[in-house]
Amino acid sequence: MIIESFIIFFIIFIILAIFYLRTVDEYRINQIKWSDKKNIPKILWERVPIIIQNIPPITCWTKQDRQLRIQEYNRCQTPVEIGKVSGILHWCSKENLQAIFSYIIRPTSTVCATGNMGLFQTKSEWTCIIPTDEQIQVSLIKKSIGNNLPYNWKNRTIDSITSVDTPFVADIKFIDIIVKKGMLLLLPPHMYVEINTSNPDNGYCFIYFDSLFSYIVKYIGMGKAHS
C-alpha cells in the first residue's frame, strides 16, 4: 500500500513538473469576463497571460485603505508582511478566485506594493496581479527572449538595458499590457515582468498560486525571487 501510494504521488509530481516547465513561445493574451469565469479553466491550459475583466470590487490596499490603516501598515517591514495584513487573501477566498484553478493549485502568499517595480521573473504556477487604485502598465518578456538579458537584469527597467550591458539588446522584444482597475492579470511561470504606474502612490497586489512542484522550485530549488 505504501509503495502504491508512493508511485501515485511520484506520477502526479512528474505530471506537475511537465506542466510547470511547459512554455508557449509567443506573445499572446487571452481575455475573459469575471461573469464567464467558469470557462477560465479551459484557457489556463494554453499557458499564456490572461486578463480577467469586471472583477468584484477590492477595498483593500487602496489609497483610502492605506490612509485609514496607516499605523498598521507602517508596522510591516516588507511587502510580504503588508500582503498578509492587507486582506487581499481574504478577498481571494471571499470571491472564490481559487475555483478557477484545479484543487492541486492553491494560493500560497501575497505581496502588496506601490509605484514602479523593476524586472522579476514569475515562478508560481500562476501569478495574479491586481491594481487597487488606477491602471498599471505591465511589460512582459517571454522566457526565450529572456536569455538575451544581461547577467544583472533583476530589478532593472527594460529601457535601462543597453549594448553596454549585453550585445543582444536588439533581440530583447517585449509587450506592454495595460491593466485597469476592475481587472486582474494572470501570468504563467517563467515570464520576465516589469511594472510601471503613472503615480508612485498607485497600488497593486500579487496573489501567488502554486502547485507542489512550483512551491518546491520557489522555496527550495531555485530561490525566493519574485513569485
Percent of the residues in the chain that have a pLDDT greater than 70, as a whole number: 86
CA 160 vs CA 23, 121, 140, 168, 221: distances in Å: 27, 17, 15, 14, 30
Reported as a single tens digit per residue, the pLDDT across 67-98 is 999 999 999 999 999 999 999 999 999 999 98
Domain presence at residue 26: yes
Strand partners, 197: 136
Reported as a single tens digit per residue, the pLDDT across 103-152 is 778 999 999 999 999 999 999 999 999 999 999 999 999 988 988 999 99
Residue 223 is predicted with a pLDDT of: 42
Domain presence at residue 226: no
Domain presence at residue 189: yes
Q: How confident is the model at residue 13 (pLDDT cuts 50, 70, 90)?
A: low
Strand partners, 205: 112, 130
The residue ranking higher by pLDDT, 10 or 136, is 136
Domain presence at residue 105: yes
Backbone Cα Rg of the chain:
18
Nearest 10 degrees: Cα torsion 18, 30, 198, 91:
-70
Domain presence at residue 206: yes
The angle formed by the CA atoms of residues 173, 218 and 99, to the nearest 5 degrees, is: 85
Q: Which three cell numbers stand for residue 1?
A: 500500500
Domain presence at residue 25: yes
DSSP 199: S
Domain presence at residue 67: yes
Q: How many domains does the chain have?
A: 1
Residue 61 is predicted with a pLDDT of: 97
Q: Whole-model pTM above 0.85? A: yes
Residue 18 is predicted with a pLDDT of: 55
Domain presence at residue 227: no
The region of weakest confidence among 11-15, 44-48, 51-55, 128-132 is 11-15
Element (H, E) at 94: helix 88-94
By residue range, what is the domain housing residue 62?
2-221
CATH number at residue 172: 2.60.120.650
Residue 227 is predicted with a pLDDT of: 46
